[in-house]
Amino acid sequence: IVQQMPLVNDSALTQRVETIGRRLVQQLPEKDFDYRFNVVRDNTPNAFAIPGGRLYVHTGLMDFVASDDQLAGVIAHEIGHAYERHPVKNLSRAYGLQYLSSLLLPQNENKLRALTAKVVQSGVLTRYSREDELEADRVGFYLLQKAGYRPEGLRTFLEKLGKIAPSAPIPFLSTHPATPERVARLKALETEGAPSPARL
């Protein structure tokens, strides 16, 4: 991943993401991964998670958000994907578990590198099902509440994103549920509160 999307060497940006991420992870009912947070240079207002709890935040997202609450909302959403094991399920659907398992053998290191490049370029890691996206929203909302961030952070980020999408289409949004649906569901959670995520 790092070879495909070099990490940003900026301690202030990295520390901001790391601090928010750690504060959110502390609220998880179960911690099956060693969550790690990185910043990569990419102009799109996005972030993504890979199997094992590694999260990557784009510089474009950090430039786009209006507050730490909005940034925390997106990071919490990505933690939700990792917590619910959506990245590995996604890769398994795309390439098959047997093939992925074979890449862990030492003699297949070059194949693993080639697949990683393909995964990054194709955006497979950001193509979740509608149910996965809504589940990550629920988990993210719960984490925002528990961590003391403004729980509307993710919703206001989505609303801001929705305003620019018609005039400047954002490719990754085409693989997500409609933004108005996500906003409506988050508004309902703000009224009702989010239940604790299920144990893995």
pLDDT digits (tens, 9 = 90+) for 51-93: 889 999 999 999 999 999 999 999 999 999 999 998 888 777 6
Report pLDDT digits (tens) over 117-144: 666 666 666 668 888 999 999 999 999 9
Closest-CA residue to 45 (of 86, 81, 85, 78): 78
Report pLDDT digits (tens) over 12-41: 999 999 999 999 999 998 888 999 999 999
Q: Which pLDDT band holds residue 168 (cuts at 50, 70, 90)?
A: very low
Backbone φ and ψ for 46, nearest 5 degrees, come out as -145, 175
Q: What pTM was computed for the model?
A: 0.83
Judged against a pLDDT cut of 80, whether residue 154 lies above it is answered with yes
Q: CA–CA distance from 36 to each of 44, 173, 188 (Å)?
A: 21, 25, 30
Catalytic residues: 78
Encoded amino acid at 62, one letter: M
Strand arrangement, sheet containing 54-58: 36-40, 54-58, 47-50
Q: What is the dihedral of CA 25, 35, 30, 69, to 10 degrees?
A: 20
